Chains A and B, each alone.
Chain A
Amino acid sequence: MKKIPVTVLTGFLGSGKTTLLNRILTEQHGKRIAVIENEFGEIGIDHALVINADEEVFEMNNGCICCTVRGDLIRILGNLMKRRDKFDHILVETTGMADPGPVAQTFFVDDELRDLFALDGIVTLVDARHVHLHLDDSNECREQIAFADVLVLNKTDLVTAAELDALERRVRGMNSMARVLRAKDADVPIASVLDVGGFDLDRAVEAKPTFLTPEYPFEWAGTFELAEGVYELALDDGPDPEMGLLAAHLAGDELASSRACADRAMHVWSEGATSVAPSATVDVGAAQPASLVLAGDGTKRFFLRVRRAGRVGLYTEHLPSEFQLRLLRDGVPLQAVAEEAFAAGHTHDEQVTSVGIHREGTIDGDRLNAWVSKLLREKGGDIFRMKGILNIAGMANRYVFQGVHMLFDGREDRPWGATPRANDLVFIGRKLDREALTRGFEQCLS
């Protein structure tokens, strides 16, 4: 019997969950949908059954966080199955303050629900105008974003384009796995929220371009054609008192944002930055990145020394626009040949982040197993979700996995075919130690 897909809708009060729900229910899709609501709404649509539930979070006697489930869902979904003519889809709308963890876990921990239902995705609505009020002080708000497969930035008409870009960067930094959609009145295509496959291993790693883009410690790469000489870097006040910058020589017609160049830059970046005060000089091709000191008001000027003419890649920790960064020669601003912004992998003091790891090579299955077991045992409570595709020694096929807290689900998938063998994994969680995770994973390479 085919499992019934379940979509979980989360988001703070006023983020537009009810509007989206109404859109889904009124659209002519021919599906019989049951809606489980945790907040008393006024929805009453003929072809949908709407059930009000009391949010009941149950911890199991063993106290394990992964066994925290929603008792109300177990009962209600069990009762809904007592009929021959089953529902085509279940929508669970959580309260604004709900923790999505127990909701997701319920579908993996409870044997009865696991047999009958398949969690399709967690869709989180974000009120673009007001979410910043909650992002800094609400765990629930951060967790709803962290758990999401789809993030709908809603009410985009109430913010400026720059504010929206900044918000998108910020939420992508927290959750690099999710697909981000923008909407005015929750007007997203129904298929983009109802058929997500977020927990389906066959689809878990497809159609998510950002998932496979490695994360860099810099947000921007620009390619410049520069002659030998000294250039000026001017920066105005920005969000941080320091900013990391790396300037590297590029060969021929290479682009700074290309995978090879960016990987090389990342390697240099990991050497740790040297602090550089205004009026000091940064060398192209230095063995370490510079940390530009931007304390104090007004424009700060630094010098960039080019010892040999050719292409130069500039990598910046934040977007140049955040500091009005200019590269000048004799007072004239220079245009980049090409530039590209990257999803913010590191984010400013963010409690919830994504850590993406991309490594070529082959993984030793035993070492991976030992590492993941230890990691989940020690940090499982802080790891909300994870996904990956791995190249495991001795396996002809890709190994795919996904997890929620300490619940881990992995198996062999299809052959690699023409795709180059590599390892990509993403962790989303609280207080994740990027270096420790990367180092731990590297030790699994055989």
Chain B
Amino acid sequence: MTARGGPAPRTQLAPRWQHSLGDYVAAAEITRDGRLCVSASGVGTVCGVEVATGRELFRVQAHDGAVLGLSVSPDGARFATCGRGPGAKVWSAAGELLHELPGGASGWVEHVAWAPAGGRVAVAAGRSVRVWSAEGSLVTEVAPLASTASGLAWSADGSELAAACYGGVHFWPIAAGAAPRHLPWKGSLISLAWSPDGKVIACGSQDSSVHFWRLPAGRDSEMSGYPIKPRALAWDAESKLLATTGGVSVTLWDFRGKGPEGTRPIELEGHMGVCTRLAFSPRKGVLASGGQDAGVLLWEPRRGTRPTGFAFLEDDVTALVWHPEHRGLLGGDAAGNLTFWEAG
């Protein structure tokens, strides 16, 4: 591995292991206990790797084309995948198919999201959103959205599900009798990130802006001026910093006090290509960013705007996920390489 300029070599991340998924790393997750890494490829392969050693535990052909969504259950016993084809699939932690969850009429199932509690998994296919039990029975199906769901997320306590689409964000409380609601926005929302404290919903918008709503009131703000559409959003564990990227730089909005409205964001410059992936460590406020320059950079945005660590993959960075105890960072690229770096 060679450094292509940038920060001093002493900050280069040390890989603990490397593994090949064989094709474009479309998604990757690590179980909450930090033991298992599940990754999925652009040609439908799903692979389980032991985080401690890098040893491959299983490899299955899950879908007939790119895996578009991957979500690991909170207890780490199962994971769900989706992609082209009629439905989502639920697998055991050993890679055995447990059951299939039929999607809607759409040929694509694009999003799966396991609820943080309560053993439910939400699946979005086109305009349809369904919630299933861990055992594979249908819990609820919401009224079809006005357009295809472009983002899906649960509130941190699992009491509410949100989906972004063209025209705004829809919310569905899971408790019986509670009414769903809609926060309208006249534009195409392309991603969704719910703050861990549940107080802010942030969405990337096709018109090169980031839109967010404060809950429960729904007061909204727009952060515009991105050179291209925002590709990634990430909240820090304290729900105070929202990292966004729509271009080569990373832009952070600070939600402390009255911000971020009327404040200048923190700008992190370091990538030499468009930054496409962001992941905040659950600990220590460390942010990882990955881009089309194949570079992975670490930042501590509260302390400074210089990268504190770096590493390179071989191709566009397509996945970044932290170990839940901050023991390391997993990265995947468009050529199918997976690397797990020590957190340092």
A interface residue numbers (CB < 8 A to B): 49, 51-52, 54, 56, 58-62, 67, 69, 71-72, 74-76, 79-80, 82-85, 110-112
Specify the chain B residue showing the minimal Cβ separation from A69: B206
* Residue interface mask B321-344, A partner, CB < 8 A = 1: 000000000000011100000000
**What are the residues of chain B within 8 A of A54 when measuring CB–CB?**
106, 126-127, 148
The verdict on A61 contacting B187 (CB below 8 Å), with A69-B206, A79-B66 known, is yes
**What are the residues of chain A within 8 A of B188 when measuring CB–CB?**
58, 60, 69, 71
Q: Is B290 an interface residue (CB 8 A)?
A: no
**Complexed CA–CA distance, A85 and B334 (Å):** 11
- Distance (whole angstroms) from the CB of A369 to the closest CB of chain B: 23
Minimum-distance CB pairs A-B, first 4: A83-B42, A61-B187, A111-B228, A82-B42
- B206/A60 in contact, CB under 8 A: yes
**What are the residues of chain B within 8 A of A61 when measuring CB–CB?**
185-187, 205, 207, 209
- A75/B207 in contact, CB under 8 A: no
- Distance (whole angstroms) from the CB of B86 to the closest CB of chain A: 12
**What are the residues of chain A within 8 A of B335 when measuring CB–CB?**
84
Q: A52-B106, A82-B334, A85-B23 are in contact. List 6 more A-B contacts (CB 8 A).
A: A51-B84, A67-B207, A75-B110, A75-B148, A76-B108, A83-B43
**What are the residues of chain A within 8 A of B171 when measuring CB–CB?**
none
Residues of B276-305 contacting chain A, CB below 8 A: none
Residues of B206-238 contacting chain A, CB below 8 A: 206-207, 209, 228-229, 231
- A79/B108 in contact, CB under 8 A: yes
- A74/B206 in contact, CB under 8 A: yes
**Complexed CA–CA distance, A52 and B103 (Å):** 15
**Complexed CA–CA distance, A350 and B335 (Å):** 53
The verdict on A84 contacting B148 (CB below 8 Å), with A58-B188, A61-B207, A74-B206 known, is no
Specify the chain A residue showing the minimal Cβ separation from B25: A82
**Complexed CA–CA distance, A60 and B334 (Å):** 30
The verdict on A52 contacting B110 (CB below 8 Å), with A58-B188, A61-B205 known, is no
Q: How many residues of B contact A (CB 8 A)?
A: 34
**What are the residues of chain B within 8 A of A79 when measuring CB–CB?**
66, 68, 84, 108, 110
* Residue interface mask B46-83, A partner, CB < 8 A = 1: 00000000000000000001101000000000000000
**Complexed CA–CA distance, A321 and B42 (Å):** 61
- B26/A58 in contact, CB under 8 A: no
The verdict on A72 contacting B148 (CB below 8 Å), with A51-B107, A52-B107, A110-B206 known, is yes
- B108/A60 in contact, CB under 8 A: no
- Distance (whole angstroms) from the CB of A64 to the closest CB of chain B: 10
**Complexed CA–CA distance, A110 and B208 (Å):** 10
- A84/B42 in contact, CB under 8 A: yes
- B148/A82 in contact, CB under 8 A: no
- Distance (whole angstroms) from the CB of B103 to the closest CB of chain A: 13
Q: Is B244 an interface residue (CB 8 A)?
A: no
**What are the residues of chain B within 8 A of A59 when measuring CB–CB?**
186-187
How many Cβ-Cβ contacts under 8 Å join chain A to chain B?
Answer: 77
* Residue interface mask B91-130, A partner, CB < 8 A = 1: 0000000000000001110100000000000000011000
- B68/A84 in contact, CB under 8 A: no
**Complexed CA–CA distance, A112 and B292 (Å):** 12
A selection of 10 A-B contacts at a CB cut-off of 8 Å is A54-B127, A58-B166, A61-B187, A62-B207, A69-B206, A75-B110, A75-B148, A79-B66, A110-B206, A110-B229
**What are the residues of chain B within 8 A of A62 when measuring CB–CB?**
207
Tell me which of A52, A61, A71 has the highest count of chain B C-beta atoms within 10 A of its own C-beta. Answer: A61
**Complexed CA–CA distance, A84 and B148 (Å):** 26
- Distance (whole angstroms) from the CB of B47 to the closest CB of chain A: 15
Tell me which of A54, A76, A110 has the highest count of chain B C-beta atoms within 10 A of its own C-beta. Answer: A54
- A84/B166 in contact, CB under 8 A: no
Q: Is B147 an interface residue (CB 8 A)?
A: yes
Q: Is B194 an interface residue (CB 8 A)?
A: no
Specify the chain A residue showing the minimal Cβ separation from B22: A84
**Complexed CA–CA distance, A62 and B334 (Å):** 34
Q: Is B310 an interface residue (CB 8 A)?
A: no
Specify the chain B residue showing the minimal Cβ separation from A74: B206
- A71/B24 in contact, CB under 8 A: no
**What are the residues of chain B within 8 A of A112 when measuring CB–CB?**
228-229, 231
Specify the chain B residue showing the minimal Cβ separation from A52: B107
Specify the chain A residue showing the minimal Cβ separation from B188: A58
**Complexed CA–CA distance, A224 and B150 (Å):** 69
Q: B148: which of A51, A71, A83 is its contact (CB, 8 Å)?
A: A71
**What are the residues of chain B within 8 A of A52 when measuring CB–CB?**
106-107
**Complexed CA–CA distance, A388 and B231 (Å):** 35
**What are the residues of chain B within 8 A of A56 when measuring CB–CB?**
147-148, 166
- Distance (whole angstroms) from the CB of A44 to the closest CB of chain B: 13
**What are the residues of chain A within 8 A of B108 when measuring CB–CB?**
51, 76, 79
**Complexed CA–CA distance, A111 and B207 (Å):** 10
- B206/A83 in contact, CB under 8 A: no
- A83/B24 in contact, CB under 8 A: yes
**Complexed CA–CA distance, A75 and B149 (Å):** 11
- Distance (whole angstroms) from the CB of B81 to the closest CB of chain A: 14
**Complexed CA–CA distance, A74 and B187 (Å):** 14
- B107/A111 in contact, CB under 8 A: no
Q: A83: which of B23, B126, B229 is its contact (CB, 8 Å)?
A: B23
**Complexed CA–CA distance, A215 and B113 (Å):** 60
Specify the chain B residue showing the minimal Cβ separation from A56: B147
- A84/B336 in contact, CB under 8 A: yes
Q: B334: which of A58, A69, A84, A111 is its contact (CB, 8 Å)?
A: A84
**What are the residues of chain A within 8 A of B84 when measuring CB–CB?**
51, 79
**Complexed CA–CA distance, A100 and B140 (Å):** 38
- B187/A60 in contact, CB under 8 A: yes
**Complexed CA–CA distance, A58 and B150 (Å):** 13
**Complexed CA–CA distance, A275 and B205 (Å):** 59
- Distance (whole angstroms) from the CB of B72 to the closest CB of chain A: 20
Specify the chain B residue showing the minimal Cβ separation from A64: B207
- Distance (whole angstroms) from the CB of A258 to the closest CB of chain B: 52
**What are the residues of chain A within 8 A of B148 when measuring CB–CB?**
54, 56, 71-72, 75
- Distance (whole angstroms) from the CB of A259 to the closest CB of chain B: 47
**What are the residues of chain B within 8 A of A72 when measuring CB–CB?**
148
**What are the residues of chain A within 8 A of B187 when measuring CB–CB?**
58-61
**Complexed CA–CA distance, A59 and B26 (Å):** 28
**What are the residues of chain B within 8 A of A74 when measuring CB–CB?**
206
**Complexed CA–CA distance, A79 and B209 (Å):** 22
* Residue interface mask B11-23, A partner, CB < 8 A = 1: 0000000000001
Tell me which of A60, A74, A85, A110 has the highest count of chain B C-beta atoms within 10 A of its own C-beta. Answer: A60
Tell me which of B26, B126, B147, B206 has the highest count of chain A C-beta atoms within 10 A of its own C-beta. Answer: B206
- Distance (whole angstroms) from the CB of B23 to the closest CB of chain A: 5
**Complexed CA–CA distance, A52 and B108 (Å):** 9
Residues of B237-259 contacting chain A, CB below 8 A: none
- Distance (whole angstroms) from the CB of A110 to the closest CB of chain B: 7
- B66/A75 in contact, CB under 8 A: no
